[in-house]
Amino acid sequence: MANRQICVLPFAPELEHVCGRPLGLRFHKKTGDLYIADAYFGLLIVGPAGGLAKPLVTEAEGQPFRFTNDLDIDEENDVVYFTDASSKFQRWEYFRSFLNVDKTGRFIKYDRSSKKATVLLHGISFANGVALSKDRSFVLVAETTNCKILRLWLSGPKAGTQDVFVVLPGYPDNIRRNSKGEFWVALNSLINEEIRYTKAVKLSESGKVLEALGDKANRLQFISDVEEKDGKIWIGSSVAPFVGVYDL
């Protein structure tokens, strides 16, 4: 285990592989367990009382995870869906992944009963955020480098097939579903200067842009997560040391 004293530094990328870097968090509502996608340690779990997180899985198809990124939980089918952003680059090398247009990201399913990890999608350019639809018929995966959200159908006549859910004007990070079944997508940075103040977009269940979250003062930098709860938007950043709160 890493020395706790060295793992509380505000910015120490050289220690990430030692201390870990949790990127995705989801509670299992029925059990109270917290599932963690850690960039270096794979898929982890910690009980309702907290304490030391335990590893669940660190590889799939014989290939170790290099950059575990985000997750979502299907409690009805006892499955955890998560991403491994790259099979070549670790989190501290994320910019090299972009420059090399790396296409080794994977989307993975972890079965809680069998404790087996299965790769559902290969060849993703920086596999990032994950969100299950409200009716569990499909799951979304952010393909950050290509500014796309991919959709993998889980049930119905299209089950097992994938398509492009939406093309965005910036680089998507995490995806979070609200109580209505709509999706908030955090835009870490933009490629379209006409909307340079946009930090996140809300999408319908069909991929239509319903709303854009702006910040003309540009106080929010490198947005990584947008969570809607009880009339408020909670905003996280992959770099800046803050949690932002907006009233809807």
In the chain, domain spans: 4-167, 178-248
Q: Are 75 and 81 in contact (CB under 8 A)?
A: no
pLDDT, residue 185, reads 97
Answer positive or negative: Cα dihedral of 208, 173, 182, 43: positive
Helix locations, 90-201, DSSP H: 94-99
- Read off the pTM: 0.93
pLDDT, residue 53, reads 95
Nearest residue to 129 via CA among 185, 170, 87: 185
Low-confidence ranges of the chain (pLDDT < 70): 1-5, 9-11, 192-196, 216-217
Q: Which two tokens stand for residue 159?
A: 């089950």
Nearest residue to 81 via CA among 152, 168, 180, 179: 152
How does 122-141 read in b/e, with b if 16+ C-beta sit within 10 Å? eebbbbbbbbbbeeeebbbb
Output helix, strand, coil percentages for the chain, rounded to the nearest 5.
10, 50, 40
Pick the CATH number of 4-167 from 3.90.1150.10, 3.40.190.10, 2.120.10.30, 3.40.640.10: 2.120.10.30
Q: Which two tokens stand for residue 242?
A: 């803050």
pLDDT, residue 4, reads 60
Instruction: Report the alpha-carbon distance of residue 108 to residue 122 in Å, rounded.
Output: 9
Instruction: Report the alpha-carbon distance of residue 59 to residue 84 in Å, rounded.
Output: 10
pLDDT, residue 1, reads 44
